[in-house]
Amino acid sequence: MIQAYYTGLNGMKTSSYGIDILSENLANTNTIGFKGSDYEFASLFENAVATTNSGLSNGTIGLGSTLQAITMNTSSGEYMETGVSTDLAILEDGWFGVTGLSGEAVYTRDGSFNFDRDGSLVALDGSYVLGTLGTNFNNNILTEQLNETPLGDVTTQEKLTFPQDLSYPTTPTSSTQFYGNLGTDDTVRVMSSGVIDADGNTNNLRLEFTQVDPQPEEGTVWSVVATTTSLNGETPFDTQNGTVTFDGTGALISNTLTTIDNNGTTVAIDLGTNYDGVIASGTSEISASSASNGFIGGELSRYDINANGDIIASFTNGIQSSVGKVAVYHFQNDQGLDRLSGSQFSASAISGDAFFYTDENGQNTLGSSISNNQLESSNIDMTYGLTELIVLQRSYDANSKSLTTADEMMQKALDMDA
């Protein structure tokens, strides 16, 4: 009968632990990035009862059950579309890193991020998101256009703060390529292209082709006059002359026009060779096109985050560049992380230190896919949680009744002794 007391009492305690864990889970069904807790029960001091003469055991006897372990449910929650480019969701294994109250790294699956008024990427509670800052901007000027920022070492990750008045500098045109067909008729042909000077102005580069007299027996020879002027044509900058020669099939075989000045910037004029640029063929349609390098300057319009975790700066001239990368951390044992709050965890001796995956070249990589414009919801199923809660409540009631029964049996035994 004493064992009945202990069995009922331990059963009530175990059920109470389970109810507390389930209640915590159910209270966080709307918490972004929440990872629920699972409970594991075990029998307490259970031993086999002596066997009978037939060799069969009469069963086991013990002191009920106990809470053996509380484990993290690492399954993914549902992914919700938000339409916000700074909202991130990790689609496989991994954790975002943010700074805790005392500056230590805290790990979470909650990717509800945004930029604060200082240009820092922060979580909803104001903690700074950790990652790698790009080295391609200095003194509020972008120094290099990057498609992706390489992920740094796991120990060098820092808060991601970006200038709010970042500028993309003007890149003057240094080369212009011309394409098209002059034909073989003795008439003036014109090709032109926009070229950017060092002041960020778009000017006009014009080529005027005229057949020379006399023409060779085979092929054609054209004189070409190149001029650079302001876009409205009112300010001339330079004039250069040259000669281009085509064979009987229309292929370009020689060209003496090489460069021209564009308001202080030298521009290389590329007419191609053979058939890969300008031709003079009587069997093809007359055409003209051009392509110039260089960009006009631009000012920062916004920051976004793409699906690779790169922070993308967009400029008013249409240029985009990566200026940083959000880090995704990994652990040898996610179950060993210490829970700090509903969706935040810290590393422990059991989880091991955070690390980054590396690719075949030894470069650090995220190791998991990221989806922007999405958030990962809680991984708690309300229906399952409520069902389990009912089971545990009934278990609690049954164990409490066993205490009552044991008490009644003890009272009867005492009354018989009297």
Work out the pLDDT band at 38, boundaries 50, 70, 90. confident
68-87 average pLDDT score: 83
Residue 108 belongs to a domain: yes
Do 353 and 403 have their domain in common? Answer: no
- pLDDT attached to residue 357: 95
- pLDDT surpassing 90 at residue 127: yes
- pLDDT attached to residue 258: 95
Do 352 and 364 have their domain in common? Answer: yes
Do 363 and 398 have their domain in common? Answer: no
- pLDDT attached to residue 48: 47
Residue 307 belongs to a domain: no
- pLDDT attached to residue 401: 64
Buried b (16+ CB within 10 A) or exposed e, 246-279: bbeebbbeebebeebebbebebebbbbeeeebbb
- pLDDT attached to residue 398: 62
- pLDDT attached to residue 414: 62
Do 365 and 402 have their domain in common? Answer: no
278-297 average pLDDT score: 94
Comparing 33-37, 62-66, 187-191, 204-208, which segment has the lowest mean pLDDT? 62-66
Higher pLDDT, 209 or 383: 209
- pLDDT surpassing 70 at residue 52: no
- pLDDT surpassing 50 at residue 102: yes
Comparing 21-25, 84-88, 133-137, 258-262, which segment has the lowest mean pLDDT? 21-25
- pLDDT surpassing 70 at residue 202: yes
Higher pLDDT, 413 or 96: 96
Give the bridge partners for 62, in sequence order: none
Do 181 and 241 have their domain in common? Answer: yes
- pLDDT attached to residue 57: 47
Residue 149 belongs to a domain: yes
Give the bridge partners for 262, in sequence order: 265
179-195 average pLDDT score: 96
Residue 304 belongs to a domain: no
- pLDDT attached to residue 74: 79
Taking the C-alpha atoms of residue 44 and residue 8, their distance in angstroms, rounded to an integer, is 12
Do 186 and 132 have their domain in common? Answer: no
Q: Counting Cβ atoms within 10 Å, is residue 5 exposed (0-12), middle (13-18) or buried (19+)?
A: middle
Do 388 and 367 have their domain in common? Answer: no
Long-range contacts of 393-399 (CB under 8 A, 24+ apart): 393/15, 393/19, 395/11, 395/14, 395/15, 395/18, 396/11, 396/12, 396/15, 396/16, 396/19, 398/11, 399/7, 399/8, 399/9, 399/11, 399/12, 399/15, 399/64
Residue 303 belongs to a domain: no
Taking the C-alpha atoms of residue 215 and residue 244, their distance in angstroms, rounded to an integer, is 12
DSSP 336-395: GPEE-SSSEEE--TTT---B-EE-TTS-EE--S-EEETEEE-----HHHHHHHHHHHHHH
Work out the pLDDT band at 31, boundaries 50, 70, 90. confident
Do 260 and 231 have their domain in common? Answer: yes
Residue 298 belongs to a domain: no
395-412 average pLDDT score: 63
pTM: 0.73
Total domains present in the chain: 3
CB 317 within 8 A of CB 344: no
Residue 68 belongs to a domain: yes
pLDDT tens-digit series, residues 350-366: 999 999 999 999 999 99
Higher pLDDT, 258 or 45: 258
Do 70 and 85 have their domain in common? Answer: no
pLDDT tens-digit series, residues 142-168: 999 999 999 999 999 999 999 999 999
Do 84 and 155 have their domain in common? Answer: yes
Taking the C-alpha atoms of residue 149 and residue 151, their distance in angstroms, rounded to an integer, is 6
- Provide the residue range defining the domain that includes 228: 175-292
- pLDDT surpassing 50 at residue 32: yes
- pLDDT surpassing 60 at residue 61: no
Mean pLDDT of the chain: 86
Taking the C-alpha atoms of residue 192 and residue 202, their distance in angstroms, rounded to an integer, is 13
- pLDDT surpassing 60 at residue 46: no
Do 85 and 126 have their domain in common? Answer: yes
Do 286 and 234 have their domain in common? Answer: yes
Residue 107 belongs to a domain: yes
Comparing 212-226, 378-392, 394-408, which segment has the lowest mean pLDDT? 394-408
The H-or-E segment that residue 27 falls in is helix 2-27
- pLDDT attached to residue 19: 74
- pLDDT surpassing 90 at residue 307: no
Half-sphere exposure of 71 (CA within 13 A, CB side): 12
* Chain Cα centroid distance, residue 91: 11
